[in-house]
Amino acid sequence: MKVNESRILIVGLGLIGGSLAAALRASGYGRRDSDDAGGGGPVKRAEIVACDPNPDEIALGIERGLIDRGDTRLAPLVEGASLIVLAVPVLAMAGVMRELAGCLGTAAPNVVITDVGSTKAAIRDCAVDAFGRLPANLVLGHPIAGSEKSGVAAADPRLYANHKVILTPEPDTDPAALARVRALWAACDAEVLEMDVARHDQVLARTSHLPHLLAFSLVDTLARQDERLDIFRYAAGGFRDFTRIAGSDPVMWRDIFVANRDAVLASLDDFEAGVARLRRAVEAGDTDAMLAIFDRASHARHYFDSLLNQTSYQAEYQMQAQGKKLRYRVAPGGGVTGRIRVPGDKSISHRSIMLGALAEGVTEVKGFLEGEDSLATLQAFREMGVAIEGPHQGRVTIHGVGMHGLQAPAGPLYVGNAGTAMRLFAGLLAGQAFDTELTGDASLTKRPMGRVADPLRLMGAEIETAEGGRPPLRIKGGKTLTGIRYDMPMASAQVKSCLLLAGLYAEGETRVREPAPTRDHTERMLAGFGYDVGREGDTCWLSGGGRLTSAPIDVPSDISSATFFLVAAAITPGSDLVLEHVGINPTRIGVINILTLMGADLRLANEREVGGEPVADLHIRYAPLRGIEIPVDQVPLAIDEFPALFVAAANAEGTTRLREASELRVKESDRLQAMADGLTALGVENTLYPDGIDIVGSGDDGVSYGGGRIDSLGDHRIAMAFAVAALRAGGEIVIDDCANVATSFPGFIDLARRVGMSLAEEQANGEGA
């Protein structure tokens, strides 16, 4: 917004106030001439003045060029001020506000007031007492930044850079005042968020106030012991890191604990309960309980780091908000040769965690997919009290808690981009005794969940969804479920699995009929865990009330991930590639059947069964492909593989026709539309239909289409499909919004380079970056 602050008054020139002044000075924060109608005139720097009871702090601020002038008295500085920032200790706020109310009439007519206090309810009360009401031009705020140092001598112009500032506007706060305060902090390179007062005080009590309280207490406890010199002399880095904040300003923190007493005490109660649980586990030698606590904490800390550092899709909504996205740049041409093993099957990885957690005993998993989707499922069970070791190089150890051993999570279960996890969780959690909420990232919250919520309601579950049947899902616990006979209107392994998992907790028999075959991993794994599952023709069933017994699981390589390399080899002259240990479940081999019908030179070798799932090595070499009419019965067997298959069609001779695939429109993106748009951008002729597409391929051994720029819409399969397309492109293909590839295929770039593709990843900070 246009800056128009003539004089900024900072009340309190300590670390926070001094750093604000330093940041504004460094940014050249100012105002334009009032006669500047076009917005392009010269910028005049805003005058910065400060009030502080210590004249030495004022003198130092002037000497260092942080402020233009200052005074130990407030009234002389208020005159003409357009923006006033209250940066005094919380318990001093009442007196400052009363004094300010008495002289505010001399300020600029449009003056705005804000503060930096770390407790908001207490400061809001001070404002009401001082002004008789909460002024519309008062915007309460709190920068989440600081240091154990204090005073204007510690002022740092970068203190707020890339840190959050939380504003807590009220319903009647003046929008113009709010915008000006946002602009103030934006000038300091801070990330500005909004939150209501009560929520702010609760969150900060747990994330800031409680850690400081514990650090003060621990250091004080040790400092009063006789052997304190040896304790401190031999303290390691972890002790120093944790207790560093005990060096913070004692007076400031005393004020904070008094002002936010109720929220601090509530967070302390939670912490003491947690310490008591851990103490009982240590006393009893309960290794599973200790492991559950330690492992949950360890992985939660890694998850916290990933959010802060934005290293995974779990923070993608933040990356999108800040315009930070990943882009692929793929050079045309290349070869495809070698022998590789793609990551473990995502569908089986999800189910191994779910059933292992509900089983009695310890389940050992090999080949677990360490992608973000699977890790989100793993973390969700940790939050429900399940002890899980790993993953370490694809190995996970799950200490099962039995069918009724899950505990209520402390908050919503976040499953990121994992549609499979959310739909399967819906069935599993409908049978629990506690309430739960399932949420996900921005992409997942657009996907339909009514297809599982509606039949679960028929079973007696109580589920709330957002508008349009979309996430988040709020599931009421303690409901009695009854088995149903359900004819699925659309073939979906996720819906079938959801209902079977709910059926584990239902009275009587749950029977599901599917209109076309879908993957049967859930049925196979339930049987592997000793649960009786019936299957005849298009119907499967089970009865509730049984138990699961732990069993080892060896996760096959994911055929959906293998598909990108199968297509890469199928379209590239001279290719010769072996994909090892790939799952060839009969409900998943649509891609093999379709490529074979198109003329691919594809053979299965070393066929065997591992943990109830058939696997084989897939050997594929280049052969000219021909366009086909894809058999309708193969569509549900290859529903996730079609983005890559569309690239194969673009390189086949003649037209490939797909129908009865409307399911593709409700995946992570509308995959029919996204692929049609991308193919058009490359110059591939295609015709889009409501339930399918016709693709006219080139059919020769050379370049099949041009290069171009593709928007993957954040859909990992769209991104990887067009990366493969570059093998037969006439120019470079640039693919935007690729961060989500990690959700299903960690290591895709490395494997692509290993077989002969030329693919680079770069961060895009906005259009044209």
- Considering only CA atoms, which of 513, 462, 510, 464 is closest in space to residue 492? 513
Mean pLDDT for the stretch of residues 12-38: 77
Q: How many CB atoms lie within 10 A of CB 729?
A: 22
CA 720, 726, 729, 730 torsion: positive or negative?
Answer: positive
Mean pLDDT for the stretch of residues 24-28: 89
With respect to CATH, is domain 346-373+383-554 assigned 3.65.10.10? yes
Identify the bridge partners of residue 573 per DSSP, sorted by sequence position: none
CA 220 to the chain's CA centroid: 38
Domain extent listing, the chain:
7-195, 203-285, 325-340+557-764, 346-373+383-554
Burial of 434 (0-12, 13-18, 19+ CB in 10 A): middle
Model confidence at 315, pLDDT cuts 50, 70, 90, reads: very low
Mean pLDDT for the stretch of residues 95-101: 94
More confident of the two residues 388 and 602: 602
Identify the bridge partners of residue 51 per DSSP, sorted by sequence position: 11, 71
640 is catalytic: yes
CA 393 to the chain's CA centroid: 23
Write down the CATH number for the domain with range 7-195.
3.40.50.720
pLDDT tens, 655-708?
999 999 999 998 888 999 999 999 999 999 999 999 999 999 987 778 999 999
- Considering only CA atoms, which of 347, 336, 374 is closest in space to residue 601? 336
Mean pLDDT for the stretch of residues 182-201: 92
Is it true that the peptide bond before 391 is cis, omega within 30 degrees of 0?
yes
Query: What pLDDT is attached to residue 232?
Result: 65
Separation CA 545–CA 20 (nearest Å):
62
Mean pLDDT for the stretch of residues 732-751: 87
Of the candidates 640, 694, 715, 737, the residue annotated as catalytic is 640
Burial of 595 (0-12, 13-18, 19+ CB in 10 A): buried
**What is the model's pTM?**
0.60
With both helix axes pointing from N to C terminus, report the angle between 261-284 and 287-309 in degrees, rounded to the nearest 10: 140
pLDDT tens, 273-288?
888 989 998 999 988 7
- Considering only CA atoms, which of 143, 128, 130, 136 is closest in space to residue 111? 136
- Helix H, strand E, coil C: the string for 124-185 is HHHHHHHHCCCCCCEECEEECCCCCCCCHHHCCCCCCCCCEEEECCCCCCCHHHHHHHHHHH
Model confidence at 228, pLDDT cuts 50, 70, 90, reads: low
Separation CA 428–CA 504 (nearest Å):
8
- Find where tokens 């780091």 sit: 305
Separation CA 362–CA 111 (nearest Å):
65
CA 115 to the chain's CA centroid: 31
Separation CA 322–CA 521 (nearest Å):
39
pLDDT tens, 562-604?
999 999 999 999 999 999 999 999 988 999 999 999 999 999 9
**In 630-745, beta strands by DSSP E:** 654-658, 686-689, 692-697, 708-711, 733-736
Torsion over CA of 55, 57, 59 and 65, rounded to 10 degrees? -150
Q: Which CATH class is domain 325-340+557-764?
A: alpha beta
Least confidently predicted of 43-47, 261-265, 588-592, 612-616? 43-47
- The residues, ordered by sequence, that sit 6+ positions from 729 with a Cβ below 8 Å of its Cβ are 330, 332, 333, 682, 703, 704, 705, 706, 707
Query: What pLDDT is attached to residue 769?
Result: 30
- Considering only CA atoms, which of 296, 304, 301 is closest in space to residue 277? 296
Separation CA 10–CA 15 (nearest Å):
12
pLDDT tens, 323-334?
447 899 999 999
Separation CA 21–CA 50 (nearest Å):
9
Residues contributing to the annotated binding site for 3-phosphoshikimate = 346-347, 351, 492, 494, 640, 667
pLDDT value at 299 more than 50: yes
Q: What is the DSSP letter of 562?
A: H
Separation CA 58–CA 69 (nearest Å):
8
Q: Do domains 7-195 and 346-373+383-554 have the same CATH topology?
A: no
End-to-end Cα distance, the chain? 23
**In 395-461, beta strands by DSSP E:** 395-399, 413-414, 436-439
Write down the CATH number for the domain with range 203-285.
1.10.3660.10
